Amino acid sequence: MEEFDLYRDIAERTQGDIYVGVVGPVRTGKSTFIKRFMDLLVIPNIENNYKKERAKDELPQSAAGKTIMTTEPKFVPNEAVEIKIKDNAKLKVRMVDCVGYLVKGALGYIEGDGPRMVTTPWYDYEIPFEEAAEIGTRKVINDHSTIGILVTTDGSITEIPRENYIEAEERVINELKAINKPFIMILNTTHPYDPDTVNLKRELEEKYNVPVQIMDVMQMRNEDVDNALEKVLFEFPIKEININLPDWVDALDMSHWLKRDFLDSAKAAAKDMFKLRDLKPTMDKFNEYDFVGDVQIENMKLGEGVADVNMKTREGLFYQVLGEMSGYEIKGETQLLELMKDLSGAKREYDRVAGALKDVRETGYGLVPPQLDELKLEEPEIVKQNGRFGVKLRASAPSLHMIRADIETEVSPIVGTEKQGEELVRSLLDQFENDPGKLWQTNMFGKTLEEMVKEGLQNKLYMMPEDVRFKLQRTLQRIINEGSGGLICIIL
């Protein structure tokens, strides 16, 4: 990620105000982190020289050892200062230092035989230093920061062992999570490349589910600042995910199994996505579905919390779906091209008769007019009429006439006695009321009612003799060509 993009996106997510609350147990390097952060990022980018000098004077003190140096929350600088990053991103920055939660082995919170008492802006009486430190830390977490940096240590920066920090560390983690504040953890160490340090980082990430960055805070560099802020940026909530499917999937009906599977998998994935850093591992899970071929994060607008994801189907799925919808087996481009030629010809034929089919269903009669290429011209003839001569031109073309004939049939099985007949009728009526579709599957004499009715209909369909069909055709032709409006039909 480019530096300009990083700070621009940070500014967008915080509305231009980066208030960094630096929290954690005491004696972990919080003040040192603030000082180095200010030296590297903030002070060099303050344009006003007076404000720059004042910011230097307001830097916190820091020192090695067990003694607590910070005694109260402190804003650094006292007022948020506007900085420019590479003349592109404008943002206001203010660091917030705090005492932190006490740990066993730290010095400076006991006086004599009792707790050290301090005055605070929250009470008009003195309270123990430990209580004041906890109140100040909670206020920094809740009230005075837009992002959080939790600084902890492996114990190498002081003489206090690692295990003494764990309880205070857990308390801060829980409080930050409770208010859903974007934050990361800095593991401050004097040996950042040691395998034990790397293992501790991994353990902390698994334990707290929080990004951890190993850092020697005293030697912090610009790239360390960038990496830390980038990690914080990915802790902001994700607001919108746009999943782009292939165009042919979009064209499917919502009821199609493939579209349903995509939607169901997306809904299931959304349950595990809360922060920007959750996006990639969640998208990787899509590869487990057999209908997904490839998933790529096309674009991430980190400043808006929006991501665009491209999903592709597995190879061959397009032809499988086409085969299911068409009823033809399609294995590749060759079969698809051949099928398209056949189907396009069939569609042209259907489009020609579609209107007539609609009419015949609605009115009982449908007409398909002839096409121009079907027109047959006969040789011109010279004709004489009343002493004058003229030319007769004849043309013919086939027209299709569709007539709907409703066919009736009945099934009358003989079952035995009157009582048996009544029982059969009662059974059929019950089936018809509960599930009319099952009525047709009722078995009688080795055949279902559906089969028996179909046989009756088929027999009637083919009862019309061929010569009768021919006579009907000739009759229709005469009515059309001669314009006769009267028709007498005698059925023998």
Q: What is the mean pLDDT of residues 267-287?
A: 86
Q: What is the mean pLDDT of residues 260-265?
A: 90
Does the structure show a pLDDT above 80 at 492? no
- Least confident interval from 20-29, 80-89, 219-228, 365-374: 80-89
The average pLDDT across 48-52 equals 82
Give the pLDDT score at 1.
40
- Per-residue pLDDT for 40 more than 70? yes
Lowest mean pLDDT among 85-89, 244-248, 446-450, 480-484: 85-89
pLDDT for position 440: 64
pTM of the predicted model as reported, rounded to 2 decimal places:
0.63
What number is the average pLDDT over the span 413-439? Answer: 67
Q: What is the mean pLDDT of residues 468-487?
A: 78
pLDDT value for 93: 81
Asked whether residue 189 carries a pLDDT value surpassing 90, the answer given is yes
Q: What is the mean pLDDT of residues 6-22?
A: 74
Q: Which domains does the chain have, with CATH numbers?
A: 3-233 (3.40.50.300), 240-315 (no CATH), 408-492 (no CATH)
Asked whether the predicted pLDDT for residue 470 surpasses 60, the reply is yes
Mean pLDDT over 215-220 rounds to: 93
Mean pLDDT of 10-20: 74
- Does pLDDT of 196 surpass 90? yes
Tell me if 215 sits within 8 A of 187, measured CB to CB: yes
Given a contact cutoff of 8 angstroms between Cβ atoms, the answer to whether 160 and 147 are in contact is no
What pLDDT does 335 receive?
87
Which whole number is the average pLDDT over 318-334?
Answer: 88
Question: Has residue 299 got a pLDDT over 90?
Answer: no
Q: Over 90: is that where the pLDDT of 216 sits?
A: yes
User: What pLDDT does residue 87 have?
Assistant: 46
pLDDT at 2: 42
Predicted local distance difference test score (pLDDT) of residue 258 = 92
Q: How far apart are CA 61 and CA 186, in angstroms?
A: 19
Region at 27 (left for phi over 0; alpha for psi -120 to 50; beta for the rest): left
pLDDT in tens, 97-145: 777 777 776 665 555 566 666 666 676 777 776 677 677 777 777 777 7
The whole-number pLDDT of residue 4 equals 40
Taking 70 as the threshold, does the pLDDT of residue 274 lie above it? yes
pLDDT confidence of residue 438: 65
Is it the case that residue 212 has pLDDT exceeding 90?
Answer: yes
CA atoms of 96 and 457, how far apart (whole Å):
89
The stretch 211-217 carries a mean pLDDT of: 94
Between 311 and 442, residue with greater pLDDT: 311
Q: How confident is the model at residue 178 (pLDDT cuts 50, 70, 90)?
A: confident
Work out the pLDDT band at 276, boundaries 50, 70, 90. confident
Mean pLDDT rounded to a whole number for the chain: 80
What mean pLDDT do residues 289-312 have? 86
What is the model's pLDDT at position 3? 43
Q: Percent of the chain having pLDDT more than 70? A: 80
Please report, as a single letter, which amino acid is at residue 474: R
